Chains A and B, each alone.
Chain A
């Protein structure tokens, strides 16, 4: 009885080794021109082969993918523009997901591929460097909708891994491409990432320096920027509710009146929240969406303290009760702790406390000014702004919470501040004045691949949304059942 699991393991190993050998021989003999035949062969192969295929998908190494241009379908002239957008957006999405190695398109065979029926696998297998997967597809207009059909083809096996059809309004071409990218990332990383291409950014924007700012929204790549708040006030430091259905921000509507405003992203309505008619700002939703932390002037002391309240403002508590400045509260991913900035020692530092205000401790002992913390989605890191002692500029840093080790992400590029994590924990958005006026930038969480996202006006205090529900398949990973 006790020996049985060992036997099973040995049996699987032996079976696996023998099958790997036979599979290789079969592949060499097989004519790859007939995908149908190939598919049949794969379907007939025993279960352990599926397991092996799953293991072959690297989660720690780069999967190499090729994406020949998607092709227009039908004779509607508008499709040509749309397919151009799809090719640009999709390529950038996959590249910026940071999961894939993507050799230049100049290596590709000179042949248009609109669907799996028109690919010659031999040509792709002969490429150096050889892609693991080839992504092909087409775009068409059906009625008033744009329809994207995309497939992921296993270049080595010469077979379709999965395909997906995505629809959207004719003004949602970018969104359609983003959604396809997210599904692709989710499948090819076996669910390790959901993809962030369909997420959004909120930020404060004014046409000129010193002018009143409205909260704006844009796609995660800077596409489709649009005003969100219409308050005629100076609005700053937006934060997304965990379900993305509300955005809270600080709003100075007149001299002496700065309050927290919460607006629905679904219908634009203002949500009930008390006004203090003094100074309140920097709101942060708790991870369960039921509470909100913010900085507020305490009337009795004029100190700026961290308060926490229900999202409707009820049950408000002063967590810091200080004589100093406390601001920039942010929650840990499970809501048990909060990081914030305080100058209680005379120098501003980042502190962590339990979300009831107890267990206060300083987390960075480096001197200089540490500021605007944001806790990573996996809870292990805090991104923050820091200007070292005698440093001229402030930069974005990441701190490992467990060890206190810090890593610098922006270098020699003006002042950088206000970092906000993407929900995948691999990307950050921040503001920088490296070109003069402040603009929004994103980067990978190791500081590479910095991209400028805004191009006009003055743009500050970005916040990355959480994931949107874009209808991901229930079981991620390849080979998955063909999803249509």
Chain B
């Protein structure tokens, strides 16, 4: 009897482990769920990821004036700001550069994961007309928001960046990188086909896919915010393919 019970328990434990292993093995690839052993070198974060905020205020000055750069990092053991160098994990510094400067901060956590943040300080030549220096959206390379930032469009029901839109996005990235504006808003829009419930999700996916592409082009992720308007804000109210093609878009605005 006892042996029988023991065998029974053994068999079931074995089966349970087997099933558990199968589930783990077949499950989707989510490395973060099962924490790796300390000896392993899987680049999965064990601790909380670092965070970094970097702000320059005001974001535009005239040559000779100064601005204050403020940063604050969480879960970080080291913070470096280019072109200043290693700094404490939080603090502030008065800066007065000769030309427009992008301050790039990098916070590194004990687990070697990093967070990046950038802050752009635009420096204009002193002028009698004090308004022109600040209101210009022209960047150093001559790229201009109004002139050069373009919407991109999507195929029906898709959110992949189309090959013909990649150059547009690269140019947009150049504007965003050079721009003094703090945040770029990426709006995802859909045509009227499909339910609004689905289009809310599709619009979000279009906005985040666009953001992913811009990040690869060097635009800092935390300077971009995404929003889905689904089908609620069509550019063209028509009910035909020409209108729908216009409405399936990612639109860029600044905050």
Partners in one complex: yes
A295 sits at the interface (CB 8 A): yes
Q: Are B196 and A281 in contact (CB under 8 A)?
A: no
Q: Are B204 and A418 in contact (CB under 8 A)?
A: no
Q: Which of B82-90, B118-126, B168-176, B220-228 contacts A (4 or more CB under 8 A)?
A: B220-228
Within 8 A of B (CB), among A230-245: 234, 236-237
Q: Are B201 and A327 in contact (CB under 8 A)?
A: yes
Interface string of B183-210 (1 = CB under 8 A from A): 0010000001111111011101100110
Which size class do A's interface residues fall under? 35 or more
Considering the complex, give the chain A residue whose CB is closest to the CB of B23.
A358
Contacts of A302 in B (CB 8 A): 205, 208-209, 212
Contacts of B209 in A (CB 8 A): 302
Contacts of B196 in A (CB 8 A): 236, 417-418, 460-461
Q: Are B204 and A304 in contact (CB under 8 A)?
A: yes
Q: Are A252 and B227 in contact (CB under 8 A)?
A: yes
Known A255-B255, A297-B208, A369-B157; contact A341-B30, beta-carbon cutoff 8 A = no
| A304 CB contact (under 8 Å) in B157, B193, B205, B232 | B205
Q: Are A348 and B198 in contact (CB under 8 A)?
A: yes
B128 sits at the interface (CB 8 A): no
Contacts of B27 in A (CB 8 A): 321
Q: Are A255 and B208 in contact (CB under 8 A)?
A: no
B28 sits at the interface (CB 8 A): yes
Known A372-B197, A417-B195; contact A256-B208, beta-carbon cutoff 8 A = no
Contacts of A418 in B (CB 8 A): 195-197
B216 sits at the interface (CB 8 A): no
Contacts of A427 in B (CB 8 A): none
Least CB distance, A327 to chain B, in whole angstroms: 4
Q: Are B255 and A237 in contact (CB under 8 A)?
A: no
Q: Are B194 and A348 in contact (CB under 8 A)?
A: yes
Q: Are A210 and B232 in contact (CB under 8 A)?
A: yes
Least CB distance, B119 to chain A, in whole angstroms: 19
A175 sits at the interface (CB 8 A): no
| B198 CB contact (under 8 Å) in A234, A300, A341 | A341
B1 sits at the interface (CB 8 A): no
Least CB distance, B106 to chain A, in whole angstroms: 20
A282 sits at the interface (CB 8 A): yes
A325 sits at the interface (CB 8 A): yes
| A385 CB contact (under 8 Å) in B32, B195, B204, B239 | B195
Q: Are B226 and A371 in contact (CB under 8 A)?
A: no
B134 sits at the interface (CB 8 A): no
Cα distance A297–B159 when bound, in Å? 14
Least CB distance, A43 to chain B, in whole angstroms: 57
Considering the complex, give the chain A residue whose CB is closest to the CB of B187.
A255
Cα distance A256–B202 when bound, in Å? 15
Least CB distance, A270 to chain B, in whole angstroms: 22
Q: Are B32 and A300 in contact (CB under 8 A)?
A: yes
Within 8 A of B (CB), among A173-222: 209-210
Cα distance A256–B196 when bound, in Å? 18
Least CB distance, B39 to chain A, in whole angstroms: 24
Contacts of A376 in B (CB 8 A): none
B233 sits at the interface (CB 8 A): yes
Q: Are A321 and B208 in contact (CB under 8 A)?
A: no
Q: Are B198 and A256 in contact (CB under 8 A)?
A: no
A328 sits at the interface (CB 8 A): yes
A415 sits at the interface (CB 8 A): yes
Q: Are A347 and B200 in contact (CB under 8 A)?
A: no
Q: Are B201 and A325 in contact (CB under 8 A)?
A: yes
A42 sits at the interface (CB 8 A): no
Contacts of A145 in B (CB 8 A): none
| B194 CB contact (under 8 Å) in A256, A295, A297, A387 | A387
Give 16 A-B pairs besides A236-B196, A372-B198, A392-B239 with Cβ atoms closer than 8 angstroms: A210-B232, A237-B197, A250-B200, A255-B255, A256-B225, A279-B200, A281-B200, A300-B32, A302-B208, A304-B204, A328-B195, A347-B157, A348-B198, A415-B192, A417-B197, A460-B196
User: Footprint of A on B, CB under 8 Å?
Assistant: 27-28, 30, 32, 157, 159, 185, 192-198, 200-202, 204-205, 208-209, 212, 225-228, 232-233, 239, 255
Between A and B, 15 residue pairs with Cβ closer than 8 Å are A236-B200, A255-B185, A255-B227, A279-B200, A281-B197, A282-B201, A304-B201, A325-B205, A327-B197, A327-B200, A328-B197, A347-B157, A372-B195, A417-B197, A460-B196
